[in-house]
Structure 1
Amino acid sequence: MKDPMFTSKPLSIAMLATLFAAPAVHAQAPAQPSPTQFGVASFNMAWAGSQQDFDRQNAVCKTVSWCDTRPRREPGQASITEEANRVARQCAADTERLAGGPAQQAMMAPCNAYQGRGAPVELTSADYAAKLAGLQATIDGLVDKHGVRVLAFQEVRSAEVIKQVLGKHAGRFGVCDAAHEGFQTLAFAWDRSLSAKPAVCSVERGLEVTDNPADPLARKVRPGLALELELPGRRVAFLNVHLKSGCANIVPTPTYQARLLDDRAGACQTLNRQVAPLERWLDSVGKQSPEYVLLGDFNRRIDEEAAAAIKPEQVRTDGSNPAGVPVANADGKVATRYLWQELNDGSRTLQQVPLSSVEAGCRGFTGLDHIVLSGALAALQPANLGSRKTAVVQLPGQRIETSDHCPRSVTLSF
């Protein structure tokens, strides 16, 4: 018998959301935190666009058989083959032509974005509606069960998508995003009742470096996004990041080799060029709002770096003191090996919120999403402060996963 979730007849997110919702008999009124204590969360939503964004992407990708524009190294191969590079280049050219040009292609999710790791399959609008319903149900849980009132999102297409997946909470939450020339950008949602004055959102373009500084047409990586709220007696800032991927860990795994920020790999060089603008941003925000939260998808195991107990003279390749913003060369690169030690350098004090619990069923990427507090804000928290990872809501047989990241959240005192 055919699963009603995957009929050709489109289903609305509201209709699908009822399939994700728990029976009313199990529902409990959430505990209301004090006015100066509330939850903060970071959630990478895995290429979350609107239903219309998906339908446009799917129309193009059906024609090119959902090909992959990124060449991949097959298991057992020492490097990417020339044939794999050729196939990826052809995929990119065909997709760009059908999308209407490079600018239009950049604002579309890649053809393999929702395909997983197996052979390409034909996806439908109903498949994507199920993903959006899963995102909405996951956010419902963060707000209702964990008292989350500030949410930082990564891998979203626009603020309109956030308003859609906020569902029943959309009326009480404000939303902003960072305009970007690519599909993936950042967004915030916050409970408007938190701030006595209108919230202020601002985009940090300094993080928007290119993979190739010598190419003026090279695509830019994601910017940063700040949200400032006027809480009773203080101004608090939230800084949302989604840093360059591909240079994640200093401890080797069966899949990924260890890489420092002076590694010759292109991804590490790009991440390296985000260090100086990230430090300048922290210094600038810290002067106005000493109490701030830096959170998001760092694409770097800063917890591994912190645990490694690196000596100050080992942080930079020239042995200089890591305190202060490092001097960048003409390409924007700095003489540093470690992200965490460069950020938490003595000129500013930062504290990572450790992961204290992971909900059953939480799968996907680990060690990339972090919540970091400024020293001033960390001083207000209990000594045993910990963060949690919550499993995303997903139905059995769902063909597009809700997300490959679990949201990470913490309850903070202000």
Structure 2
Amino acid sequence: MRIFAILIGLLISFAPASAAELKLATWNLDWLTLRPQGDPALPPDVQPRHAEDLDRLRWYALALDADVVALQEVDGPDVAARVFPPDRYGFHFTSDPVVQRVGFAVRRGLKVTANPDLVGLELPGTRLRSGADVTLDLPEGRLRLLAVHLKQGCRQDRLTDTRRVACPQLRAQLAVLQGWVAQRRAEGVPFVLMGDFNRWMDGRDAFSAALQEAAPLLRVTAGRSSPCWGGGGFIDHIIAGGAATAWITTETLRVLVYRETDEAARARLSDHCPVSVRMRLPD
């Protein structure tokens, strides 16, 4: 496995993070479910994974070796446990009645408290997803984490005065995130937002600028390009606020690129690659 890691140019640690360090990651697993094809909850074009596909994803999860993984498009803890060994990870998911749920895989031994789902992200009359909200109770203090999967279809368009239906919905979700960030700033608690934002945020991006109005933030992916499936702009982001901005070591940003490169493998694995960063906690 170490030889493979060298071949794909990744920096992967197979030992647990030290007590003063956390490895955070986000991973959209693309309709990960154990439901059979034809299930009424699934679109007709969704192909459920075979056992060997789940085994391969599990291999990548072990290679990722993160302490906390924000998950998107995962149909709950049963299928999550097929990818993340349950003897190593515990799971928390939102209560949304959808297949594409948001949640966390958290390394066992870390004390985690579930907060109420950020249901404002669902938006009335839509089937959008709420945010998964947890607090890590660390020896160094509390760390609040929010996992999100925002509206697709407005990666770089204007948030106002646009014909794209998705953009007003993303703008409404932005307001909810601003409120959550402002609350954390008022509490004085370090926090990190992670997930699939479905938005490129580089340059003079209105979404990014508006989020920064709620609190000073550090986006780890700023100014970077992702090598996932041929490369492109990041839509999966890790964003720190409060004291956590000083804990993030941005040079540890990594994208775990799949060894497989064909389109068939993309469907069997995920159209997103895991994105991770390390956080050094205060003494």
Fold similarity call, TM over 0.5: yes
Q: Which structure shows the higher strand fraction?
A: 2
Query: Helix, strand or coil for the counterpart of 2:30?
Result: strand
Answering whether residue 43 of structure 2 is matched by residue 176 of structure 1, we say no
CA 1:22–1:341 in structure 2 vs 1: closer, same or farther (change >3 Å)? Answer: closer
Residues 218, 245 of structure 2: 8 Å contact kept: yes
Query: What's the CA shift for 1:33?
Result: 3.3
Residues 246, 268 of structure 1: 8 Å contact kept: yes
Residues 131, 400 of structure 1: 8 Å contact kept: no
Structure whose alpha-carbon radius of gyration is higher: 1
Query: What's the CA shift for 1:47?
Result: 0.2
Query: What's the CA shift for 1:44?
Result: 0.2
Counterpart selection for 1:113 from 42, 46, 53: 46
Aligned to 1:206: 120
Residues 363, 406 of structure 1: 8 Å contact kept: no
Q: Distance in 1 between matches of 2:2 and 2:241?
A: 37
Query: What's the CA shift for 1:23?
Result: 9.3
Aligned to 1:326: none
Cα-to-partner distance string for 1:14-71 (whole Å, 9 max, x where unaligned): xxxxxxx7899x9x98344321112100000000012xx0x2xx2x3xxxxxxxxxxx
CA 1:365–1:201 in structure 2 vs 1: closer, same or farther (change >3 Å)? Answer: farther
Aligned to 2:190: 291
Q: Distance in 2 between matches of 1:274 and 1:363?
A: 29
Answering whether residue 17 of structure 2 is matched by residue 33 of structure 1, we say yes
CA 1:354–1:29 in structure 2 vs 1: closer, same or farther (change >3 Å)? Answer: closer
Aligned to 1:140: 62
Query: What's the CA shift for 1:405?
Result: 0.4
Query: What's the CA shift for 1:181?
Result: 2.5
Question: Any residues of structure 2 matched to 1:66-85 within 5 Å, and which?
Answer: none
Cα-to-partner distance string for 1:176-232 (whole Å, 9 max, x where unaligned): 10121221110101113233xx5324311011114xxxxxxx432111111211111
Q: Structure 2 stretches of 5 or more lacking a match? A: 7-11
CA 1:129–1:31 in structure 2 vs 1: closer, same or farther (change >3 Å)? Answer: closer
Answering whether residue 33 of structure 2 is matched by residue 49 of structure 1, we say yes
Residues 242, 297 of structure 1: 8 Å contact kept: yes
Cα-to-partner distance string for 1:261-303 (whole Å, 9 max, x where unaligned): 012311111111112211112222344462111110000111x
Aligned to 1:315: none
Q: Distance in 2 between matches of 1:357 and 1:134?
A: 25
Q: Distance in 2 between matches of 1:398 and 1:372?
A: 29
CA 1:283–1:268 in structure 2 vs 1: closer, same or farther (change >3 Å)? Answer: same
Residues 185, 242 of structure 2: 8 Å contact kept: no
Q: Distance in 2 between matches of 1:395 and 1:367?
A: 19
Q: Distance in 2 between matches of 1:399 and 1:358?
A: 16
CA 1:22–1:109 in structure 2 vs 1: closer, same or farther (change >3 Å)? Answer: farther
Counterpart selection for 2:212 from 339, 344, 361: 344
Question: Any residues of structure 2 matched to 1:367-378 within 5 Å, and which?
Answer: 367-378=234-245
- Residue identity over aligned pairs, in percent, reads 28
Aligned to 1:90: none
* TM-score of the pair, normalised by structure 2: 0.85
Q: Structure 1 stretches of 5 or more lacking a match? A: 1-20, 61-98, 100-104, 115-124, 211-217, 250-258, 311-337
* TM-score of the pair, normalised by structure 1: 0.60
Q: Which structure shows the higher helix fraction?
A: 1
Residues 68, 106 of structure 2: 8 Å contact kept: yes
Query: What's the CA shift for 1:393?
Result: 5.5
Aligned to 1:151: 69
Query: Helix, strand or coil for the counterpart of 1:294?
Result: strand
Answering whether residue 175 of structure 2 is matched by residue 276 of structure 1, we say yes
